[in-house]
Amino acid sequence: MEFNVGKQIKNYWNKIRGLSDNKPNEEFANATSEHSVRTSKFLIGLNLDPIMPEINKHYHVKEGEEKYHRMAMVKTMIFKKIKQIKY
């Protein structure tokens, strides 16, 4: 049985891109009651740079040495809060 790795990788990325409705160069849109935005799209456009210095104060591990990317973890906590996920 022959297995084309290149084709499998290309199919994988095409599926991933198909799941995402983000278009390149698409501007960030603020969500309102009239214009809703998917949570994932909101979090992609969310700029945490202004609050990261304060968040960094609470970490014992230096930035870049952590096991999980710090900004991703903060966005995960925001996601949990928006979706009202407890655990």
pLDDT in tens, 11-39: 777 766 655 555 544 555 566 777 777 77
Is residue 45 within 8 A of residue 28, CB to CB? The reply is yes
User: What is this structure's pTM?
Assistant: 0.55
pLDDT tens-digit readout, 42-77: 788 888 889 888 988 888 888 778 888 888 899 999
Is residue 46 within 8 A of residue 78, CB to CB? The reply is yes
Tell me which residue of 53, 48, 54 sits closest to 78, measured CA to CA. Answer: 48
Joined tokens for residue 57: 């104060």
